[in-house]
Amino acid sequence: MQPEPDPFEEYRSLLFAMSYRMLGSAMEAEDIVQEAYLRYRATPPESIRTLKSYLTTIVHHLCVDHLEALRAQRETYIGPWLPEPIVTGDGAALFSPLRQITDRESISMAFLVLLESLSPLERAVFLLREVFDYEYAEIAQITGREEAACRQLFSRAKKHISEHRPRFRASPEAHQNMVNRFMDACVAGDMDGLMSLLAEDVTVWSDGGGKVAGAGRQPIHGRDKVARAVIGLLTHVPEGTTMETSEVNGLPALLVRVKEQIIAVITLEVEGELIRAARNVANPDKLAHLSLIPTSGKVWKIKG
Are both 297 and 190 inside the same structural domain?
yes
Are both 178 and 269 inside the same structural domain?
yes
Q: Is the pTM of this model over 0.85?
A: yes
Are both 23 and 155 inside the same structural domain?
yes
Q: Which domain holds residue 26?
A: 7-164
Q: Is residue 250 part of a domain?
A: yes
Q: What total number of domains does the chain contain?
A: 2
Q: Collapsing DSSP states into helix, strand and coil, what is residue 241? A: strand
Q: Is residue 65 part of a domain?
A: yes
Q: What CA–CA distance (Å, rounded) separates 156 from 166?
A: 18
Q: What CA–CA distance (Å, rounded) separates 226 from 298?
A: 24
Are both 216 and 252 inside the same structural domain?
yes
Q: Collapsing DSSP states into helix, strand and coil, what is residue 202? A: strand
Are both 153 and 209 inside the same structural domain?
no
Choose the final residue of a domain: 121, 147, 164: 164
* CATH number where 185 lies: 3.10.450.50
Are both 150 and 189 inside the same structural domain?
no
Edge-to-edge strands, sheet with 299-301: 220-221, 198-207, 274-281, 261-271, 251-258, 241-248, 299-301
Choose the final residue of a domain: 144, 164, 184: 164
Q: Is residue 55 part of a domain?
A: yes
pLDDT of res. 237: 85
* CATH number where 146 lies: 1.20.140.160
Are both 198 and 276 inside the same structural domain?
yes
Q: Is residue 296 part of a domain?
A: yes
Per-residue pLDDT tens digits of the chain, which is 304 residues long: 566 788 899 999 999 999 999 999 989 999 999 999 999 999 998 898 899 999 999 999 999 999 988 887 877 888 899 999 988 875 554 444 554 445 667 888 999 999 999 999 999 999 999 999 999 999 999 999 999 999 999 999 999 999 887 777 778 889 999 999 999 999 999 999 999 999 999 999 999 988 887 777 899 999 999 999 999 888 888 888 999 999 899 899 999 999 888 999 999 999 888 999 999 999 999 998 886 677 777 888 887 6
Are both 55 and 130 inside the same structural domain?
yes
Q: Is residue 1 part of a domain?
A: no
Q: What CA–CA distance (Å, rounded) separates 250 from 247?
A: 6
67 close to 57: Cβ distance less than 8 angstroms: no
Are both 37 and 141 inside the same structural domain?
yes
Q: Is residue 278 part of a domain?
A: yes
Q: Is residue 60 part of a domain?
A: yes
Choose the final residue of a domain: 143, 164, 185: 164
Q: Is residue 2 part of a domain?
A: no
The helix (run of H) or strand (run of E) holding residue 150 is: helix 147-164
> For the chain, percent helix, then strand, then coil, each to nearest 5?
50, 15, 35
* Type of residue at 70: L
Q: Collapsing DSSP states into helix, strand and coil, what is residue 118? A: coil
Are both 23 and 132 inside the same structural domain?
yes
Are both 117 and 261 inside the same structural domain?
no
pLDDT of res. 7: 87
Are both 112 and 147 inside the same structural domain?
yes
26 close to 84: Cβ distance less than 8 angstroms: yes
Cβ burial 247-256 (10 Å sphere, 16+ → b, else e): bbbbbbbbbb
pLDDT of res. 91: 52
